Structures are given as C-alpha cells and as structure tokens.
Amino acid sequence: MMNYDFQKIEKYWQDYWRKNQTFKASNDSDKPKFYALSMFPYPSGAGLHVGHPLGYIATDIYSRYKRHKGFNVLHPMGYDSFGLPAEQYAIQTGQHPAITTENNINRYREQLDQLGFSFDWSREVRTSNPQYYKWTQWIFIQLFNAWYNKKSDKAENISSLIAIFEKEGNTDVEAACDDDTPSFDTVTWNGYSEKEKQEILLKYRLTYLADTEVNWCPALGTVLANDEIVNGVSERGGHPVVRKKMTQWSMRITAYAQRLLDGLDKIDWPQPLKDSQTNWIGRSVGASVTFNVKMDEMLKQVQHDDVTSSAVEKPYEIEVFTTRPDTIFGVSFMTLAPEHELVAKITTPEQKVEVDAYVEATAKRSERDRMADVKTISGVFTGAYAEHPFTKEPIPIWIGDYVLASYGTGAVMAVPCGDQRDYDFAKHYNIDIPNIFEGVDISEEAFADKETTVIANSDFLNGLPYKKAMKKIIAELERIGHGEGKVNYRLRDAVFSRQRYWGEPFPVYYVDGMPQMIDLEHLPLQLPEVEKYLPTETGEPPLGNATEWAWDRLKAEVVSNDLIDNVNIFPLELNTMPGWAGSSQYFNRYMDPRNDEAIFSPEAINYWQDVDLYIGGSEHATGHLLYSRFWQKFMFDMGYVPKDEFAQKLINQGMITGESAFIYRAETFVVYNDGKGKVKDIPIEEINNDGYLLSYSYIKNSDIHHSSYGTFINNEELEKRFTKELREKFASKVLNEDELVYEEYLSDYENLYVTAIYFYKLHVDVSYLVGVSNELDVDKFKNSKMYSDTSSLKLICDEDGKYIVGREVEKMSKSKYNVVNPDAICEEYGADSLRLYEMFLGPLEQSKPWNTAGITGVHSFLKKLWRLYSPLEGGEGGVEPTADNLKTLHKTIKKVEEDIENFSFNTSVSTFMICVNELTSQKCTSKAILEPLAILVSPYAPHIAEELWSRLGNTASIAEAPFPKFEEKYLVESSKEYPISFNGKMRFKLEMPLDMSKEDIEAAVLAHEKTQAQLEGRTPKKVIVVPGKIVNIVG
C-alpha cells in the first residue's frame, strides 16, 4: 500500500459525495429525523480563517454520527448575504453589492468544500436572493396583519380585532398596543374614516410605524447605533450626531416578553446565554404609583407664568414605577429625569434658571456618557412639591441625571433609607432620610435587604415583612386609585427600518400616508437598481435614488417614479430591513427551500419540526437568537409551525484566538546628564533627522521589558551602545540648527547617559515568521510592504542574526495580522488533519489559541492509522481478533460514543490515538477490528475513513454504515491493580483478583512489606477497602 496521499484521497471522496449526493436529506423517511444546524455565515471578503470552521466541524461530526446511528439527517448550509460591508464596498468602488456578495460566496464555498462537510447543498439559501426574501417579506406582512391578544395570550389575525371593534369598541380589549391608544365605543369606531381606522389599527399591529428617536449623523447620512458614537461624534470620521425623530417600522417584540422569558426553561441552551436573554428582557415586578403635584404651589406659579388656568384644573400627575412600593412611607423626595415632560411645567420661577442650565448641560452629554459616570452626584430642586398619596405630606421634586428617561416612566420615588443611590443623593443635598425599617442602622448606608426585617413608621404597614407589605400596599394603592401592581420590562420594541441599500425591501407602498401591503402573489418585491448607494441629498435613504420605485396598484408592478399620481400609482417604502430579518426564520426555510408557493409545506415542517442541535457563536445571544425566538413564537401562534421554540439544544462554540506577533520600535530616549543632574525625554525623531539612530529602531523581544509603565529596554549593553552613539552625535554636532533644545547638552555631552528607551509595539504579520517559530524571517520581512512603509529601518538581531518577536494571544483578525488561513493547512496536512486538530485543541465551548505547530501530532496519528490498515489491502485479513484487540476496540467504541453524545470531541481524538497506538503494538490485522474502527473515525476524519473502508473491500460509502455496537463482555477483567494509599495519598500499587473479599484484601495489603515500611511500626487506625477501586490506610 502506498503512502498516505491525503490530497488525492480527499479530492476523490469530495467528488464522490457530490456525484452521489450522499448527504441529500429526504423530507420523507421511515428513519427518525435529526436536524443539525450551524449558524450560517456572512460571506465577508476576507474569506474563512481557521476559527470559522470550528463550529461547522462539530456540527458535521454530530451529523455524521447520527447518520451512522440510523437517523435521517438534515444538515444544511447557506449565507446571510445581506449586510453592510458589501454596501460599503459599493459606496467606495461602485461595484454592485450583488457582485461582491456573489464573489465572496464562491470563495466561501470553495473553502468549505475542501473541508469535507456533509452539507446538503441542494438546500442552500441566500438571504439576498429574491426567491428567499420573498418569504421574509411574507412574514413581515403576516406580522402587519396580526395583533397580540393578552386574553388568549397569543397573536391573532387583525380581522378578529376589527370584529371586536365593530361589535363593542376597544374598552374591553386587552392587547399589546401603543401607550397613546384612545378608547372608543362601537359608534365612535364606525364613525371613523378609513384612514382613522387604519391609524388606530397601526397601534395594535405586531409591526407598526412609529416615530422613533434615533442617532442621526447628517454627514454620513445614516442612523448610528449607540456604540458607533464616541463622545457625541461618530466613531467613523468624527462627525456630529444629533437625536432625530424618524418614522420607522418597529416590531412589537415586547408583546412576547413574558413568553420569551418562560420559554428559556424549556430549552437546552447554555446558561450564560439564557442569562443574557433574561437580563436583556429585564423583568421587574413592583407597582406603578401616581403622585399628584401639589396644586397650591402650582397655582401660585400661575400668576407669574403663562400657564393657562385650564391646564391646572386637573393636577399634574407623576407616575413612577417601583419594585419596592412597600417602602412608600420612606419617600422623602422624588427625582425626575431632566428630559421628563413635566420638568418645564412644574419648575418654579425662582428655580428656573438653575433647572434650565442643568437640563441643557445634561442634554449635551450622551446617555452612554451619563451612565459611565456613576460616581458624580448631581441634581437640581425644581421648587415644586408632590403630595404623598397616604400621608398627604409635601415631597420635594428634584431632577437628576441618575434617573434615565428611557427606563420605566423617567421618574422615581426616592426612598433614601432603602436605596443606595437615593441615599447618596439625599446625603449630598441634605434631604431627610426617614428610617422605615425595624431595628436597622442607616446612619452609614441604605438598607436594601428585603428579607431580614419588617416595616416600621409606615402606618398600616407597620410590623409587616416584605411580602405581606407588598400585597397590602398594592391593594391600598388600587383602593385609593393611586396605583396598581405592575410588571415592567427593560425590553424595548425593535426598530426594523434601516437607511441602507443592501437589505430586504419592505413590501409596502403608501396611500395617503398610510402603509399598504403588496399582495403575496406579487412578491418578491425586488430591490431596485440605483446610481449610487449613498443617501440622497435630501436625506432620504439610498432607495430614494431609485427612479423606478413606485407601485402601480392596477398592473401590480413596479413602475417609474414619474408616474406617481397617488390614485393608482404610489410611492414605495424607501427603508430596508435590518440584518436580522433574513436570519430569523432561515432554519425553517431549509426544510423546504425551493418551495415557491409557501415558506415551507406543512408536510416539511411537520416532518422536521425543529432544530435538534444548533451550533454557533455566543455573540448572537441578544440579537439573532432573541429575534428568531420571537418570530418562531409568532409563527407558532399563527399555526404555521408546530413548535414555539425553534432549537431544542444550542451550543456556543468558543473562539479560536490568534497568536499575534510583535516587533518593537524605539520611541523615546530617556537621557540623564550627570554633569547637570538633569533627566530628559528625547523623542527619537527629534534627534534623528539624518536617520542615524533610527537604524536601531527595531528591538527583539528578549531585550524588551513590559510593565504597567510601558514597554522599555532591558538590555544594559544596548543602553551603553546608545549612550555611546548619542554622545558621538552630539560630538559631531549633527543636530538641526533649530533644535536648540538640546544645546544645553552640547557643552558636557561626555556626561550624558541613555538610561531607558521606550518602545512602541507594532503587529507584524505572522506569515513573516520562520515556519511556526517565533523567529522573524528577516529577509521576507524586509521585502514586505510593512517594512518599506516604515522606511529604511534595520533590526537589531542576536549575534547569530536572529530576531525573536513578541507573542500575545488576541482575537483572530485581519487588522491584527494574526490570521491563519485554512487553505494553506489543507494543502500541507489535509482536511482530515485540520478537522481532527481543531477538535483536539480543547473543549468545543472554550476559547483557545491557535498554534499551528501542534498539527503535526494529529497528522502523524493519521499516518499511523493508515499504516495500521496497510496489510489488509484488497479485503484480506479475515484473521480472528485477539482478546486484546477486542478490548481495545470496545473500550474505544464506548468512549467515543459517550464523547460524541457529550460534545467532548477533544477527548475522542485522544481516544483514537490511544486505540491506534495499542492496535499497532498488538500488530492487529483483523478486519473485524479495523472495519468498525473506520466507522468510529469517519465522523471526525471522513476522507481517510472512506478510503480505508473501501480498501477493506466495501463498495458503498461509509456514511450510512451502522455505528459499531459496544459490548461490555470484552472489557471484563479478572484482576485489578489496586492503588494502595496512606491517608489519601497513593504510595504503591498491588495487583489482586477482583473477586477477592474485603477482608482478604485488607489482610494482603497489611501483610505487604511496603505497607510496613510506610507505617514505620505504627498500627493503622482504620483501613478503608473499596472493592474494585482503592485501598486507603489511615494511621
């Protein structure tokens, strides 16, 4: 048999699988189903690096394993192909994003193909493909045509809501809807115009238009996310950003807040991910309480102000949300967010100047800024008072930026004795801190523990513990009409509009300003062509550049904008959908991806049901994975899908980090002048205009010392050398004429010492290193762009001419020059080696650094495996297996099966190594052993497994071969090498039969000479014998 020619083998089997459609899944099978899914990638221009395939390999191993176990496996792959980078590239180069995307996808496909995945490519989806986004648009329309009925606790068709309105108005409707929804009866409803009716309905629909405040950057012509803004200006370009109200589509995800929370208990997802979602939804239970503003104060103000008397007929109300209504008798002030709408209305003339100044100052700071600055206490008294709902005492109303307008009602009742922030605020401004806790000292800090005390000084709540007090106070609040029990969520409705080109167009046109949906039969509404991909001069989104972007309702087609008459031809929506639109149902579309009549057939969804195993990165915790659960629940409510959670089990694969390489550039000399006793920093450029000292600007790692002060030199020899050269420089007076700063050194430069040199570290591309070592390939580096960019620099090397770089583990990314590409590794070691190695690196869920050096280990394992099969070529080897052979095999079967079920792929790779090492030393040539072994290996290293399988004489693919059955009988032992420990420490081993009795074991151990030596004459206090496990002697 020839050598292990992995390139030939891998190519052959990849072609074989493609031709034979080995991994095509059927939607109709007697076998049980298994749906294994990897998160589909965004096809970026950079291609795959070694970190990307980690999760795919894991999913692939599990899929192949399930096939061996007799399952009908669905294992699809596709592309999340709408997105910003392709659009940005289009803006810069004019190349259509569709072309960029297509090129990138082709590159991805090539890279994926060479890794030997068992994907069913016939089911590939691309979110930017009109045949795909037709169904994204369809779901949008379904959401538009739905409302959330809190009584049935599910989404229903909007027609059921209209029916209720027509019959009884909306007073009895309990729905997730806008806060400003008016109440009306049947007569009023029927009296509304069609447009008014549509406006009301929009307040109930699960996707709706609303004015949303966004971060608008006029210079970039786009909306920015919070993290794209730094210090009030855009991160990119530093342009000013303003808050701007824009009409945007929103998704009423808040309707599902509770069900999204409850659903987490039913699914097997990682705890950290569930916790992120729980925090994100942010449920808090408490009460809303209404405080009236004291009107006698307000009325006085009316004399001075222009407030009309009608405005104060009804007292102003401040609604707060609190999780501790039981502490209401501890309220000593209230705080409003500076943006609160009442601030302007209630501020007294005396306080007006101060309040206005504070409001203005806060407005200048971004919300992010305010939140980051937690320590500073600031606030201003408005001069107004609220009335305590029970005691009727006046409560001063303050404003303070620790209260956020965006959470709750933007106002809090401050209970300084029970909340540390309120406490600090009260202390700072000398406000009363009444104590309402029995026997608790609050002289130093607030007391926030709910469980360990009872309420005092609180009228009817006195003596009650937390839970009882909560119940009682909520009942009382409801009785006097000043509040009610309430559950508050942090979760906000999701903005669904983007001012981008490369996204799904909304299937929406506008009649009289009201949105109308395009009928399903006319979908997809395809993305129009535009001249340029930037926003228009009038600030409209990029689709505003399209000239053919109007909807002809009669012809049901897109026509030129010139034809818009608002009778039959109407303008189309200019925004596009966000990135998560296309990924929120793709897992279901894979079940029936070529269906043009429906998003999927009922047969397909009923057969596949849901995803059994989903593997992907944890960065999608509160984005994709939350939105997908939301849409799935909606689809469930509407009866389209049978499960209300789309993925039963989810695993987050860890990140593979890269080892960045660094070189060090000298930045500053610290010079000490002995004659004058002066210390000075000299920036290297200032003394360097002839390039003289720059010749030493790259220093190797071992001469560098890193500390919290910076990176500086750690080599006395070099300091001396620099000192010498610096003196020479002064001696030869080669300084610039205008650099008189250093003139003072000229007179006594002989007393000059370089005492330290500071360095700036620079990433150097890992491909400039010699092989996989830490040594810089000096020639290669000198020919590189980086080197020529940084001018004529020389490296200070060791005496033997080597330059050792510094290494640090960082996220693998192009900008850090630490990317390792799988192509080169496949070329050199093969896909099977890469697959095995990625798994061998460590636990799937853990992040770990990539180190190419280690791949030789798994590669030589594959060579050993190959050699093990060599004598059996041509189907020979009917040799009876020995007991040892069988023991090794079955030990391996057991371990590998357990490992795969536990997703502990790293340990099964070592199990294979042990197995092959053992069989090799046993000189095993039995087909009865090697055939099942090939099946065990095949999920991990499918190419070599197929090859060996066929060389053993099999004609069919190994993919469907049944997984070997583990048999306990081959592992039964008759004796055990007992560890003999003294006080828990193992000291020696003793072989004894397994059927030996406890007493006999004890006697045998005590009689042993080594035992006596250990005891040194002492009598053991106790002897523990655990048969089959251990002997422990105490004494």
Site for RNA in 401-430 (CB under 7 A): 401-404, 406-410, 412-413, 419, 421
Residue 1005 CB, nearest approach to RNA (Å):
13
Amino acid identity at 826: C
Q: Does 851 bind RNA (CB under 7 A)?
A: yes
Considering only 272, 349, 642, 962, the residue that binds RNA (CB under 7 A) is 272
Which range, of 188-196, 321-329, 506-514, 785-793, touches RNA by CB under 7 A? 321-329
Identified binder of RNA from the candidate list 143, 214, 224, 858, rule CB under 7 A: 858
Q: Does 617 bind RNA (CB under 7 A)?
A: no
* Window 892-911: residues binding RNA (CB under 7 A): 904, 906-907, 909-910
C-alpha span between 660 and 805 (Å, rounded)? 9
d(CA 589, CA 604): 10
Q: In terms of CB distance, is 276 or 292 closer to RNA? A: 276
Q: Looking at the chain, how many residues does it have?
A: 1035
Half-sphere exposure of 326 (CA within 13 A, CB side): 26
- State in angstroms the smallest separation of the CB of 662 from RNA: 17
Q: Is 895 helix (H, G, I), strand (E, B) or coil?
A: helix
CA distance from start to end of the chain: 61
The two structure tokens encoding residue 703: 């001469």
Cβ nearer to RNA, comparing 219 with 824: 824
Token code pair at residue 559 = 């026509």
Q: Which of 230, 295, 495, 1024 binds RNA (CB under 7 A)?
A: 1024
How far is 75 from 119, CA to CA, in rounded Å?
A: 5
> Which residue number, 374 or 1007, has a Cβ lying nearer to RNA?
374
Least gap, CB of 1022 to RNA (angstroms): 6
Contact call for residue 271 and RNA (CB under 7 A): yes
- Residue 279 in the binding site for RNA (CB under 7 A): yes
| Binding to RNA in span 909-948, by CB under 7 A | 909-910, 913-914, 917, 921
Question: Judged by CB, which is closer to RNA: 120, or 838?
Answer: 838
Q: Is 619 a residue that touches RNA (CB under 7 A)? A: yes
Least gap, CB of 814 to RNA (angstroms): 18
Among 6, 35, 62, 321, interactor with RNA by CB under 7 A:
321
Instruction: Name the residue nearer to RNA (CB basis): 99 or 986.
Output: 986
Encode 282-314: b = buried (16+ Cβ within 10 Å), e = exposed: eeeebbbbbbbbbbebbeebeeeeeeeeeebee
**Distance between CA 440 and CA 418 in Å, rounded?**
11
Residue 265 makes CB contacts below 8 A (sequence gap 6+) with none
Give how far Cα 582 sits from Cα of 142, 530, 570, 800, Å: 15, 22, 26, 58
What one-character DSSP code corresponds to residue 413? E
Tell me the window of 382-390, 619-627, 756-764, 796-804 that interacts with RNA (CB under 7 A).
Answer: 619-627
Q: Which is nearer to RNA, 322 or 668 (by Cβ)?
A: 322
Asked if residue 842 binds RNA (CB under 7 A), the reply is yes
Among 864, 894, 927, 1008, binds RNA (CB under 7 A): 864
Helices (H) and strands (E) counted in the chain, each on its own, are: 32, 37
Dihedral of CA atoms 863, 868, 871, 876 in degrees, nearest 10, equals -120
At 858, is the secondary structure helix, strand, or coil?
helix
Candidates 369-377, 494-502, 575-583, 636-644 — which segment interacts with RNA by CB under 7 A?
A: 369-377
Applying CB under 7 A, which part among 575-583, 633-641, 720-728, 984-992 lies near RNA?
A: 984-992
DSSP output for 8-71: HHHHHHHHHHHHHTTTPPPSS-SSPEEEEEEPPPP--TT---TTTHHHHHHHHHHHHHHHHTT-
Binding mask 331-350 for RNA (x = CB under 7 A): ------x-------------
Can you read off the two tokens belonging to residue 340? 């609160």
* 492-551: contacts with RNA (CB under 7 A): none
For residue 384, the surrounding DSSP H or E stretch is: strand 379-387
848 scored as a contact of RNA (CB under 7 A)? yes
Q: Which helix (H) or strand (E) holds 905?
A: helix 905-921
Residue 217: CB partners within 8 Å, gap ≥ 6? 223, 224, 234, 239, 240, 241, 242
Q: Of residues 770-799, which lie at the interface with RNA (CB under 7 A)?
A: none
Query: By CB under 7 A, is residue 987 in contact with RNA?
Result: yes
Question: Any contact of residue 984 with RNA (CB under 7 A)?
Answer: yes
Cβ contacts of residue 161 below 8 Å, gap of 6+? 147, 149, 173, 175, 201, 204
Q: Candidates 23-31, 169-177, 256-264, 278-286 — which segment interacts with RNA by CB under 7 A?
A: 278-286
151 vs 1010 by CB, closer to RNA: 1010
Q: At its nearest, how many Å lie between RNA and the CB of residue 1026?
A: 5
Residue 155 or 328 with smaller CB distance to RNA: 328
Measured CA distances, 233 to 224, 237, 245 (Å): 10, 8, 18
Contact residue for RNA among 7, 186, 622, 767 (CB under 7 A): 622
Closer CB to RNA, 728 or 973, in the complex: 973
Residue owning tokens 């399209």: 546
Task: Using CB under 7 A, pick the residue from 2, 187, 225, 374 that binds RNA.
Answer: 374
Q: Applying CB under 7 A, which part among 396-404, 432-440, 724-732, 744-752 lies near RNA?
A: 396-404
Per CB under 7 A, 553 contacts RNA: no
What does the alpha-carbon distance between residue 959 and residue 956 come to, in Å, rounded to a whole number?
8
**981 binds RNA, rule: CB under 7 A:** yes
Element (H, E) at 380: strand 379-387
- Of 561 and 907, the one with the shorter C-beta distance to RNA is 907
Question: Of 201 and 229, which CB lies nearer to RNA in the complex structure?
Answer: 229
Stretch that binds RNA, among 130-138, 461-469, 781-789, 985-993 (CB under 7 A): 985-993
- C-alpha 690/C-alpha 670 separation (Å) is 20
Residue 108 C-beta: closest distance to RNA, Å: 25
Closest CA to 397 of 288, 293, 482: 293
Whole-number minimum distance, CB 76 to RNA, in Å?
28
Q: What is the 3-state composition of the chain as percent helix, strand, coil, each rounded to the nearest 5?
A: 40, 20, 40
Tell me if 490 contacts RNA by CB under 7 A. Answer: yes
Which CB sits closer to RNA, 331 or 550?
331
Q: Pattern of binders to RNA over 572-611, x per CB under 7 A?
A: ----------------------------------------
Amino acid at 102: E
Instruction: Verify binding: residue 891, RNA, rule CB under 7 A.
Output: no
Question: Using CB under 7 A, which residues numbered 704 to 763 contact RNA?
Answer: none
Measured from the CB atom, the residue of 463 and 1028 that comes closer to RNA is: 1028
Q: Does residue 854 touch RNA according to CB under 7 A? A: yes
Provide, rounded to whole angstroms, the least separation between the CB of residue 866 and RNA.
11
CB-based contacts of 612, cutoff 8 Å, min separation 6: 33, 34, 35, 36, 647, 648, 649
Q: Does the footprint of RNA cover residue 95 (CB under 7 A)?
A: no
Number of residues lying near RNA (CB under 7 A): 82
Structure tokens that stand for 541 in this block: 């989104």
Question: Tokens standing for 96?
Answer: 């259509």
CB of 253 to RNA, least distance (A): 16
Stretch that binds RNA, among 12-20, 632-640, 753-761, 835-843 (CB under 7 A): 835-843
Alpha carbons 631 and 588: distance in angstroms, whole number: 11
Question: Which pair of tokens denotes residue 779?
Answer: 């020639």
What SS3 state is found at 615?
strand
